[in-house]
C-alpha cells in the first residue's frame, strides 16, 4: 500500500480484493493503475514492484517470528510423511516466497516453487499451475503426473479459478474469505488446514483415477 501512497494513490474500498488477492504484484499494480487511468509501461511497473519487494523484505526481516497459521507446519509435515509431492504456486516474487519459507523453516519441504516472476500470466490464468505440473514431471519422471491427480489448496477466488482451469481440484481454506463464499467455487472447503483428512482425500483420488 505504501508504494501506491508514494504515487499519490490511496486504495479504495474493495480494490485490494478486486485487483490483488491471489494475483501477482504486476497484475495487482497494473489493475489498480489502469483503473485509475494512469499511464503505465513495463519499466514503471518494474520499478514499483522492486520498491514493494524491498519494503516487504525489510518488514519480514524485522519480525522475529512470522504470523503464520498455527496448523500450517503440522499439515505440511503430515503431507511429507505421506510421501506426497508438494509445490508452492504463488503470485509473490520468488525472493519473497523463499524468504517466507526460510523464516518458517519450511523451505526443505518444497523442491518445486512457481512464483509470480516465473510466468507472464497471473492467476486466475492457469499458467502457474500448469508449469508446476510440468516441473514436477521433470523432477519425478516416473510419476507421469496429470493435473487431475493433483490437489490445490487455495484461499482466494483467483487461485481457485486458476487451479480449476488447469484441471486441478481445489480445497478452499477459509483464511481470506468466509467459508460459504469459497464453498461455492472450490471442490471442497474447510475452515482450517487441520480439518483436511489426508486419508479421505487419497481414497477419493484413488477412486477418481482408478
Select 72-208's CATH number: 3.40.50.300, 2.30.30.60, 3.40.50.1000, 3.40.50.170: 3.40.50.1000
Q: What is the mean pLDDT of residues 184-210?
A: 83
CA distance 127 to 146: 15
Bridge partners for 170 per DSSP:
152
Q: What is the mean pLDDT of residues 126-139?
A: 97
Q: For the chain, give every residue range classified as CATH 3.40.50.1000.
A: 72-208
The residue written with cell numbers 505421506 in the block is 82
Specify the pTM.
0.88
The pLDDT value recorded for residue 187 is 92
To the nearest whole number, what is the mean pLDDT of the chain? 90
Amino acid at each position: 500500500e505504501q508504494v501506491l501512497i508514494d504515487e499519490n494513490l490511496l486504495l479504495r474500498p474493495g480494490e485490494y480484493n478486486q485487483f490483488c488477492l491471489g494475483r501477482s504484484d504486476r497484475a495487482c499494480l497494473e489493475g489498480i493503475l489502469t483503473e485509475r487511468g494512469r499511464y503505465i509501461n513495463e519499466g514503471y511497473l518494474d520499478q514499483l514492484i522492486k520498491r514493494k519487494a524491498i519494503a516487504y523484505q525489510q518488514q519480514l526481516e524485522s519480525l522475529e517470528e512470522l504470523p503464520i497459521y498455527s496448523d500450517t507446519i503440522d499439515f505440511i509435515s503430515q503431507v511429507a510423511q505421506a510421501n506426497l509431492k508438494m509445490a508452492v504456486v504463488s503470485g509473490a516474487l520468488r525472493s519473497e516466497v523463499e524468504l517466507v519459507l526460510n523464516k518458517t523453516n519450511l523451505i526443505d519441504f518444497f523442491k518445486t516453487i512457481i512464483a509470480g516472476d516465473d510466468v507472464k500470466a497471473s492467476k486466475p490464468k492457469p499458467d502457474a499451475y500448469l508449469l508446476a505440473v510440468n516441473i514436477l514431471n521433470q523432477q519425478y519422471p516416473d510419476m507421469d503426473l496429470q493435473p487431475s491427480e493433483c490437489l490445490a489448496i487455495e484461499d482466494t477466488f483467483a487461485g481457485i479459478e486458476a487451479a480449476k482451469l488447469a484441471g486441478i481440484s481445489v480445497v478452499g481454506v477459509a483464511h481470506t474469505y468466509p467459508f460459504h463464499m469459497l464453498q461455492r467455487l472450490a471442490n471442497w472447503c474447510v475452515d482450517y488446514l487441520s480439518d483436511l483428512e489426508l486419508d479421505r482425500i487419497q481414497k477419493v483420488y484413488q477412486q477418481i483415477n482408478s
